[in-house]
Structure 1
Amino acid sequence: ASTSPAKMESLKALGADAVIDRNEPYPNDAFDVVLDLVGGPRWPELLDALVPRGRYVTSGAIAGPIVELDLRTLYLKDLTLIGSTRQDPGVFTDLVSYIEAGEIKPVVAETYPLADLHAAQKAFLEKSHMGKIGVTIAD
């Protein structure tokens, strides 16, 4: 996992085998798969961190949607790039069943009532939370 130094121990406690400081250089040819929600200017480093025939998966662009790609990296390393926002219809149902059975426990940092949506957005922008920020809607 790659994160800020302040969140490293929390990620280890959640089960990460290893944690890398996201501000440090990534090792070259080290990972079979990179799952990226960030994008942005460091994107080429993630491709360099993949082993030959590695796979890059994205479903976000928090640091910026426009990235630079050296096509030679793509074809010389024989990489696969995958966008991931749509799942087969049964995936969500399966996920919910794992949560209900206690096999997966979502990490929820905090919840806010809808009336405090501004506070929820502020907490999100501070980026000091671990997990998701939820918004509850009264009946």
Structure 2
Amino acid sequence: HSKEMAIVVLTMSDDETHLIAAMRAGASAFVKKSAPLEDVVSSLRSALIQPKNFSAAGMGSALKKTEAADVLTPRELTVLHALSLPGTNSQLAKSLYISEATFKTHLAAIYRKLKVSNRLGAVMKAQGLNLF
């Protein structure tokens, strides 16, 4: 990241992970090629005026998703995905090669971190955040 140089990422991607990666890499702006010309020009101007300030359409939803994904461990994300599949806790635990007690420990952590109280709430919140 340069304090003096503006870096603008022009992309065809709709993938929010690319937006977050660009921000973390020090880009000044992230613009989709499909954006209206005035949005592209506006992003370029903003980047030139304030290269340290990151701007992008859809940044709010991307950050929410990233924040939620960052709080959950990789194993918790795996367990969370398993919750969307049919089966009992015991069956899902076996499919992940962990004990049911370990599965329930992960469930408790997921519920606490996502601020939900049950499987359905966890799955719906994950879907709302596009975690899977």
TM band (smaller chain): under 0.3
**Which of structures 1 and 2 has the bigger CA Rg?**
2
Scaled by the length of structure 1, what TM-score is found? Answer: 0.23
Scaled by the length of structure 2, what TM-score is found? Answer: 0.24
**Higher normalized contact order (CA 8 Å, seq sep 6+, divided by chain length):** 2
Per residue, is there more helix in 1 or in 2? 2
